[in-house]
Amino acid sequence: MKTVYQTEETCCKQIELEVDGDVVKSVRFLGGCHGNLQGIARLVEGMPVADVVSRLSGIRCGMKPTSCPDQLTLALQQAVSRS
């Protein structure tokens, strides 16, 4: 299932992702630190959603209460709950 998630409080404004069952198939960040976010996207592709969430949930960016990786976990949880 393809999902578009509008992020909050990050430089990245949107995350486009595809989940098949409980596996992350693809991730694309719009905005933010392009190189770092490309790396994160490639690392999580093929991983179970639960593993991505357990590793990236709660990461903060500086003084912000969230980060792009943390927002990815929220997007994945939303995608899984809709399926």
Tell me, what's the pLDDT at 83? 74
Q: How far is CA 55 from CA 1, 15, 50, 51, in A?
A: 22, 18, 9, 6
pLDDT in tens, the chain (83 residues): 899 999 999 999 999 999 999 999 999 999 999 999 999 999 999 999 999 999 999 999 999 999 999 999 999 999 999 87
Cα–Cα distance, 15 to 73 (Å, whole number): 11
- What pTM was estimated for this model as a whole? 0.95
Instruction: Output DSSP code: residue 64.
Output: S
Cα–Cα distance, 68 to 26 (Å, whole number): 15
